[in-house]
Amino acid sequence: MLFRTLYDETCRYYLVAPPLASAACFFIDAPFGRFSLPTSRFNIPGISSWIIMELFAPLSFTVAFLSSPLSSSPSPPPLSHPASFLAGLFLIHYSNRALISPLRTPSRNKSHLIVFLCGVAFNIVNGTLLGTWLTSPVALNTLRGAFSDWRFWIGVAGWVGGFVGNVAHDEILLDIRRQKSSTPREQNHYAIPHGLLYSYISYPNYFCEWIEWLSFALIASPPHVTGFLTPPWLFFFAEVWTMFPRAVSGHRWYHKKFDDYPKDRKIIIPFVL
């Protein structure tokens, strides 16, 4: 009963906090990446701090999923259940985000300690809520028989497309860093990215990640059954709220840094925004 109350209250916090953070980020750029503060005494190594920060998501998710705190059964659903399949998708994403991608990154600007702490808090909350949701009675009943529903597989295809697109566009950025890794200054590992959706928008990696988690929310928590105030949807909304101001600032930064930056590129949604 106590955990249920804590779960519900955390969901309410998760609904309100990202929009507030989003509003602040239109005025204050989070100090990491191209907006890092080189002389701050609170800087920490970029790659190692990213790995540690992001590992909290799959770890907290796994603990919540295996303990199934809202379920009457102390054990997680069987591997043959759609909930376990969706858990696998989440862990695939974070295996790449927390380990594979950063370990293949030749360089990364230092990050501010506050970014690390906020990221850890976000990942613990998000991982715990999603792991708890997928093992909840509501989710298990909603997902029962999902493997035989064509709409489920359309959603999975959307998730795969978003994930592959996210990785592919990140790889373009990694290639730029590899080519410039011999330069001594961290800020010199930036250049104008080209290829795939970079022909149309400045942040196709963000756009593809939105597609990925929108698809996940549609199949993990169909809105016509569960509504939108569930962890999969709160995660998707949080992604949009927190990534959009970063994309706006980054798009402006590209135009300021590179005189030949394509004028017709949109920010984050092809042909629209």
Residue 19: which pLDDT band, with cuts at 50, 70 and 90? very high
pLDDT surpasses 90 at 124: yes
Which residues make beta-bridge pairs with 201? Answer: 266
The DSSP element (H or E) to which 172 belongs, if any, is: helix 150-179
What is the pTM (predicted TM-score) of this model?
Answer: 0.92
Lowest mean pLDDT among 37-51, 150-164, 182-196: 182-196
d(CA 55, CA 37): 24
pLDDT of residue 33: 83
What's the start-to-end Cα distance of the chain, in Å? 44
pLDDT of residue 229: 92
Give the pLDDT mean for 218-230.
92
CA dihedral 194, 200, 204, 207 (to 10 degrees): 180
